[in-house]
Amino acid sequence: MSALAELQPESKPQVDKDWWRGAVIYQIYPRSYQDTNGDGIGDLPGITRRLPYIASLGVDAIWVSPFFTSPMRDFGYDVSDYCDVDPMFGTLADFDAMIAESHRLGLKVMIDLVLSHTSNDHPWFQDSSSSREADKADWYVWADPKPDGTPPNNWLSIFGGSAWEWDPGRLQYYLHNFLRTQPDLNFHCPAVQDALLDVARFWLERGCDGFRLDTVNFYVHDKQLRDNPPLAVEERNDTTAPAVNPYNYQNHLFDKTQPENLQFLERLRAVMDEYGATTSVGEVGEGQRGFEVQAEYTEGDHRLHMCYGFDFLAPDKPSSHKVVAVLDRFNTEAPGSWACWAFSNHDVMRHASRWSLDEGMLRALTVLQLCLRGSVCLYQGEELGLPEADVAYEDLQDPYGIQFWPEFKGRDGCRTPIVWEAAMPHGGFSDAAPWLPVDPRHLPLAVDRQEDDPGSMLHHYRRTIAFRRAHRVLQKGEVEGMTDNGSVLTFVRRDGDSAIFCAFNLGPEMAEVQMPEGTWRATAAELGAIAPDEGMTRLPAGTFCLAQSA
């Protein structure tokens, strides 16, 4: 080797720090993905075993719901050790193996950080509740009762009842926005923030590529503990909590979404930026001003990368008018933000059932989601077209469903095991009886059945994701002229000289759509797209037209 060659730096592949813009992220609920040790509960080795399948979908990243040490009263969203794997899911070595195999297959790995609260079994809370003089006495939100012994204010828990729980040891109440066994951390305490940033570093050091941040706007509470004002009846909505929950009766001005939270998000972003091409997506539970909060949380390049709300996780089907209204509101209230759109996740009824979709409309909405400007989160089983599972009351595990049954049946129906092989016991998920029963209606939709059918929903998802990846304009481009004309939604995605015209008939009747000026050629026939006619194109119910600029 010449002396000159020795002086040349090694060429390294270019790292795309913006890989998350337009990415398709596949959410995995570990308990229900694949069991490998025969205990009826999915685990990290099960995820690793199925990574080739996930990579075959064409997605960019996986988001893994909590697998940390936990008493599992809220199935991992009640953490008792942030820096270890619960034995039911495996070990830290299993996590490392999952990371290594994901990266080998070209998949990024995002994990679900639950920073707003811990389990009451966490050593931090055990210390904090032991005494008002304990080392961590102020690590949680404690408050004295009113003179009559009642809670310090009117804040409500999303899981029902008061957000305050009496502790007889400290003779004080502690705050819990969720279960009473999930005490809220006190982000006004600098040591709490420092400890949580160390948690983020721990997982970034192990190769994690980013975080999904659970209940990101719940981190900080009003120091003065002011009462929330009532919410006018006409302003109530069920996007954050089900309609039967009195949580919807308040305007949550003081129990969440406080301005001090921005400072913590900036500190978290600074830590993440030390590790290169990482990303963050925050879950914003805010029924009144969600996009305004998303704008604040993603402002510039020093807070979160992106957020998602509940606009398309709501009960009402996305009509053309609703889609335009949501996107217009997003563009008006959060013009500099990058959205992340989800139709289903582990907290809501699967959208195939929630919106009562036939197969044609389900396919059309899949294409619509992957044509929207922003990133996309897909929930496990969505690619199989799974309906919501029917879970009997005696089989319920979710405390939320048990609390509000039968008006609200909880989240178990979207959390049942993935079906891999139709003829195998429990759909090939486990050799043992699973923690939630497999719905018999899911078995004909098992992966092995759909793999053998080129026209299946699984292959439709693969083709749609591949189409998005093949057209940069759908990943990174702008959106122009979004309009609703009756039941038809139209818009153009544009990136430089490249453009794709999109039209979706989201109504029950035949409709006509006026093609925009210019020369357009048919595309996406493999997705079932209707070819454009000159001038006017006819779209049957639940169909769509995609056309490329010539």
Residue range 133-190, pLDDT digits in tens: 999 999 999 999 999 999 999 999 999 999 999 999 999 999 999 999 999 999 999 9
Q: What is the pLDDT of residue 256?
A: 97
Q: Do domains 24-115+200-222+251-469 and 478-549 have the same CATH topology?
A: no
Which fold, 478-549?
Immunoglobulin-like (2.60.40)
Question: Which residues, given as ranges, of the chain have pLDDT below 50?
Answer: 1-11
Catalytically annotated residue among 274, 301, 407, 534: 274
Q: How far is it, in rounded angstroms, from Cα 450 to Cα 433?
A: 24
pLDDT of the residue at 13 = 58
Copy the structure tokens of residue 415.
């959390």
**Residue 165 a catalytic site member:** no
> What pLDDT score was predicted for residue 3?
41
CATH number for the domain whose boundaries are 24-115+200-222+251-469: 3.20.20.80
Tokens for 485?
């004309």
**Hey, where are the domains in the chain?**
24-115+200-222+251-469, 478-549
CB pairs under 8 A, 24+ apart, for 509-514?
509/541, 510/538, 510/539, 510/540, 510/541, 511/485, 511/486, 511/487, 511/538, 511/539, 511/541, 512/488, 512/536, 512/537, 512/538, 512/539, 513/485, 513/488, 513/537, 513/539, 513/545, 514/485
Based on the residue annotation, tell me whether 274 is a catalytic residue of this protein. yes
What is the β-pairing status of strands 511-514 and 536-539? antiparallel
Helix (H, G, I), strand (E, B) or coil at 142: strand
**Catalytic entry in 74, 78, 214, 382:** 214
Question: Which residue spans within 78-163 are E strands per DSSP?
Answer: 81-85, 108-113, 142-143
- CA dist., res. 122 & res. 305, Å (int): 29
Q: pLDDT tens across 281-329, in order? A: 999 988 888 899 999 999 999 999 999 888 999 999 999 999 999 999 9
pLDDT of residue 326: 95
Residue 47 CB neighbours (<10 A) = 27
Q: Give the pLDDT confidence score for residue 431 in this predicted structure.
A: 97
Strand partners, 376: 24, 341
Question: What whole-number distance in Å separates Cα of residue 124 and Cα of residue 130?
Answer: 10
